[in-house]
Amino acid sequence: MNRELSKCIDHTILKPDTTPGDIEKLCAEAKEHGFATVFVPSCYIRLAASLLRKSGVKVGAAVGFPLGWATTQTKMAEARQAVKHGAREVDMVMNVGALKAGNHDLVKKDIRKVVRTVGRSVSVKVILETGLLTDAEKVTACQLAEKAGADYVKTSTGTGHGGATVEDIRLMRKAVGDRMKVKASGGIRNYEQARALLEAGADRIGTSAGVEIVRGAPKK
């Protein structure tokens, strides 16, 4: 098993029909393969945290998911409760409409308030939804996320607006340099895709196919 690769994977299940049994399976896989984090629906964060206690695998929360248009106060409340229930990473969806309208101050304040709500011990990743943005908007979004104090920029929610591409990862990496981390997410189903995205500059891979990806890695 490629443990170095496993530590780059956020093992994810965010389907509307997710059951407690699905969470138990996801967490068992995460422990077996040594994944970085599991991302689960908000109602299951407490369950996942209990299943992963002392395992070294973190629990992540999706905030403002999947559309990003929730009010800042709603995102703050969702993030606060997630951390209270055991989340140690938060992936928040940026207000895409505000960015496209040129309301950069709203975008930055939205991110900053979530960052401040969860505190510096919790990593915040900002989902840009790159499939809806021009290259110039992607760069602007990265810059706003950095100014707001986020830890990562992330490609997409993976809910139908395009997924991670090598070109977007390269663009985002160039925009943030080594000052932030970059997460690739959306449509990543196999080892070859994951490797290409990591080589392009991604630090983390978000996927529901984590097991398939590590099993497809060359044996050392």
Q: Which of 91, 110, 151, 168 is catalytic?
A: 91
> Does the active-site annotation cover 108?
no
Residue whose C-alpha is closest to residue 152's, from 133, 178, 113, 117: 178
- Which of the following is catalytic: 75, 108, 181, 183? 183
Distances 191 to 165, 172, 213 between C-alpha atoms, Å:
14, 21, 4
Q: Which of 58, 75, 125, 154 is catalytic?
A: 154
Cα–Cα distance list, 1 to 66, 200, 213, 219 (Å): 32, 23, 11, 7
CB 96 within 8 A of CB 64: no
CA 142 to chain centre: 14
Catalytic residue flag (residue 183): yes
Q: Which long-range contacts (CB under 8 A, 24 or more apart) does 30-33 make?
A: 30/55, 30/57, 30/210, 31/55, 31/57, 33/1, 33/6, 33/9, 33/210, 33/211, 33/214
CA pair distance 48, 127, nearest whole angstrom:
22
Residues with catalytic roles: 91, 154, 183
